[in-house]
Homo-oligomer: A and B are copies of this chain.
Amino acid sequence: MEIKTIADIDIKLASVSKIKDVDFETLSFGNVFTDHMLVCDYENGVWKKPSIEPYAPFMIDPSAKVFHYGQAIFEGMKAYKDEQDDVWLFRPDQNYERFNKSAVRMAMPEVPEDVFMGGLKQLLEIEKDWVKKGKGSSLYIRPFMIATGKGVVAAPAVFYRFMIILSPAKSYYSGEVKVLIAEHFSRAANGGIGAAKAAGNYSAQFYPTKLANEKGYQQIIWTDDATHTKLEEAGTMNVFFRINDTLYTAPTSERILDGVTRKSLIDLAKRENINVEVRPVLVTELVEAAQNGTLQEIFGAGTAAVVNPIVGFEYQGTYYELPKLDQPVALALKEKLNNIQYKLEEDTFGWTVKI
């Protein structure tokens, strides 16, 4: 795909860049933002002229519906720099498409392609020095939309704001990740908003995750809310299991996010002749595989972490430790995906898009 530059945009540059104050080697995820942001307001059925302006707080009414009814969606993407100093995006069309699917589910207006993609392209051109070379370095991209319309009646807003903010990133997770399999809490309802990147899905996880943290687990593997028998997501990521030499992951559904990393890993694994089965995975299967020694790996998959290996899980009070492998499939796939993202290997899928 080719990203067209947006035709009509206001650009107001920051007078001083903050980049000199940033230590790119010690970044924690999502706390430092670049000098500029994209802003585009929607008023009474029309998207106004977007602008790129210095990153800064903005004014909003206390009755804005985003505060009261959580009408807000987002995406997570990354920009990578290759050895020739070119900046690349990874499957941005997938994020754009999903963003507008989320918008529909949350009764919000869809964002036009020239605002989302064209705006992102121009923002990245301005901020290209914030994309650092070298594996592990990237610029995390956060497009989001909030309901700015006023009034506490519980109905969709009339005014919205679409924004893109950028945060330089190293890797997302660190240390050993142990998980708790959810037996009571859950992240999504049948007929709910689990498949949308809706803001409310994420804060709903904070309390159960805090309880898991207190028990010594970094994340929760979410199960279906009706029966708690099917394994669905890990924290804010999709989840894969390797039993013997087969990779398993749940099909996407109303409850499970259609993750870009998830589907890329499936395609990549197939190309590498790894057996992949996309089907519901039962907790009982996982426990049995752990008990009989056929469970090799569990890993989360998402944009921020790419791949997040899990060292063990607790279910019904029993902790199951996974084997320590010399050559885990998770890391091999991450390596291959990173090589495509950083343009170190030929992109036979046509996933990468140059800015």
Chain A positions near chain B (C-beta within 8 angstroms): 28-31, 33, 37, 55-63, 65-72, 74, 104-107, 140, 142, 144, 146-147, 150-156, 163, 165, 167, 182, 184-193, 198-210, 225-228, 235-236
**CB-CB under 8 A for A203 and B70, given A189-B186, A189-B187:** yes
Nearest-CB distance from A203 to chain B (Å)? Answer: 4
Q: Is the CB of A225 within 8 A of B191?
A: yes
Nearest-CB distance from A184 to chain B (Å)? Answer: 5
11 pairs across A/B with beta carbons < 8 Å?
Answer: A66-B67, A67-B199, A69-B203, A70-B72, A70-B200, A72-B203, A156-B206, A185-B192, A186-B192, A190-B226, A191-B208
Q: How far is the CA of A200 from the CA of B71 in the complex (A)?
A: 7
Point out the residue from B30, B107, B186 that lies within 8 Å of A203, measured CB to CB. B107
Nearest-CB distance from A40 to chain B (Å)? Answer: 13
- New A-B contacts (11) at CB < 8 Å, excluding given A57-B60, A63-B165, A154-B202: A30-B151, A59-B59, A68-B74, A69-B206, A106-B206, A189-B189, A190-B226, A198-B203, A199-B200, A200-B203, A225-B225
DSSP majority for the A interface? loop
Q: Is the CB of B62 within 8 A of A57?
A: yes
Q: How far is the CA of A274 from the CA of B52 in the complex (A)?
A: 63
What residues of B have a CB within 8 angstroms of the CB of A156 in the complex? 203, 206, 210
What residues of B have a CB within 8 angstroms of the CB of A70 in the complex? 70, 72, 198-204
Nearest-CB distance from A198 to chain B (Å)? Answer: 7
Q: Is the CB of B72 within 8 A of A61?
A: no
Q: How far is the CA of A184 from the CA of B254 in the complex (A)?
A: 11
Point out the residue from B62, B151, B204, B208 that lies within 8 Å of A31, measured CB to CB. B151
Residue of B nearest to A37 (CB): B62
What residues of B have a CB within 8 angstroms of the CB of A60 in the complex? 57-58, 60
Q: How far is the CA of A219 from the CA of B318 in the complex (A)?
A: 45
Residue of B nearest to A32 (CB): B151
